[in-house]
Structure 1
């Protein structure tokens, strides 16, 4: 392992048991390495296993077989509490549907992850959240409720929330799926810029080839098999 390696999968499979007691293999022998500063896209149709792969990268699930390492540690050796602490401190999630708390302001939504922080990050949580909102261009909207924000503004709040704890790994699950093309491109540019500035790795899970073309490394997931892909903008997935 190099000092830059953040997360790696070697021969990873994921199998689930169906109600009829049949096994469904979702991922088959996946190999993937993500290093700090990388921007990686994984593209594929619905049902190909993209969400399952994201859950493994985000330490939400464990492989059925194979090896998953995070910062050099085999994740299978960690208990659920240890994985939760590692996920909370090192992984930021950006979802298609934003998942903002409806009764809380933009500022309160960004503060939320810092409620679980320790030390100065906890005591400076309002300052840190305002700084992150400013970085995504929404400081003036800090006290605005989500239902009064546009789709693009809500996504920028979600990005600020994902980045406020300075995660090492940012996982973006169909981050532009609910946005128009122009807003989606702006959001991806912002996400890439902020991730680059913080030295974080960005992994984008998408079916949109235009989003995938913005990444510096691209993979296609098909029938649970992950392989390198060259996808120029505008080519159908």
Structure 2
């Protein structure tokens, strides 16, 4: 399955943050410092977990990792390219081709079938991927065990099925980076375990990096590298208290 992205090599540095900060200006002109000097390196094939309680800056960090936003200061590189130097449309193209998002709330398109939801990202693809979008979407639905539910509308799918459709949609373009935002937060324990096993399996097969942002220590424990985010400061979990929700 071709996506037009660069071939990935094991150990290739995919994402690098150096002393990254994110600050927003409040209505009273006071500065709110959300991220404070974050340094992080993620290579192809890595499985990383970032754990923190609500309000610690996880969503802001996710937006930076997913190329939805740029730092206030510091350096953020994606595959060696400085993200801050890219215009918003170039950043959007890079994000669409290289990053897959898996959200806690699924964010499926209402009234659309499982197949239509998975094929949606390929509407922005070029060449063969665009013309083969339904075929590629069906292949990914089969990969997540839902080929038989392809024509089922979103509202007729169970929670676990909707999460698997969301995963298939995130992976249909074979992204280099998979960002999972609280991927098991809306699921029971058994379904959540199956979701993580599926994400890990597909990431390993494609050589993609998997970054899970979570407050669940069980999800974090599955990662090879773990970090804790507390009050905007990121530190290795081995030297920082991993805080719960």
TM-score, normalization by structure 1: 0.96
Q: CA deviation at 1:147?
A: 1.2
The answer to whether structure 1 residue 190 and structure 2 residue 198 are counterparts is yes
Aligned equivalent of 1:32: 40
Structure 1 residue 102 displacement after superposition:
1.1
Q: Does 1:122 align with 2:130?
A: yes
Aligned to 2:4: none
1:150 aligns to 2:158 (yes or no): yes
Matched, 1:217 2:225: yes
Once residues 187 and 235 of structure 2 are traced to their aligned partners in structure 1, the CA distance between those partners, rounded to angstroms, is: 28
Per the alignment, residue 106 of structure 1 pairs with 114
Aligned partner of 1:207 in structure 2 is 215
Q: In 1, are the aligned partners of 2:123 and 2:130 still within 8 Å (CA)?
A: yes
> Where do 5+ consecutive residues of structure 2 fail to align?
1-9
How far apart are 1:230 and its partner, in Å? Answer: 3.8
Residue in structure 1 matched with residue 82 of structure 2 by the alignment: 74
Paired residue for 1:174?
Answer: 182
| 1:186 partner SS | helix
Partner residue of 1:6? 14
Mapped to 1, the partners of 2:185 and 2:27 lie a distance apart of 31
Secondary structure (helix, strand or coil) at the match of 2:32 reads strand
1:59 and 2:79 are equivalent in the alignment = no
Distance 2:115 2:58 in 1: 31
Residue aligning to 2:5: none
Partners of 1:214 and 1:146 lie apart in 2 by 30
1:156-215 superposed Cα distances (whole Å, 9 cap, x missing partner):
000000000011001010011110111111111111111111111010000000011111
Q: C-alpha separation between the residues in 2 aligned to 1:165 and 1:141?
A: 20
Q: TM-score normalized by structure 2?
A: 0.93
The offset of 1:148, in angstroms, is 1.1
* 1:48 maps to which of 38, 52, 56: 56
Deviations 1:85-122 (A, max 9, x none): 00010001000000001110000000000000001101
Alignment size in residue pairs = 233
- Pairwise CA distance, 1:20: 1.3
2-side partners of 1:126 and 1:211: how far apart? Answer: 32
Does the 8 Å CA contact 2:138/2:150 hold for their aligned counterparts?
yes
Secondary structure at the aligned position of 2:111 is classed as coil
Question: Which 4+ runs in 1 deviate beyond 4 A?
Answer: none
C-alpha contact (below 8 Å) 2:52/2:58 kept by paired residues = yes
Distance 2:196 2:121 in 1: 22
> Pairwise CA RMSD of aligned residues?
1.4
Aligned positions of 1:80-95 closer than 5 A: 80-95=88-103
Task: State whether residues 113 and 151 of structure 2, in contact with CA within 8 Å, keep that contact through their aligned partners in structure 1.
Answer: yes
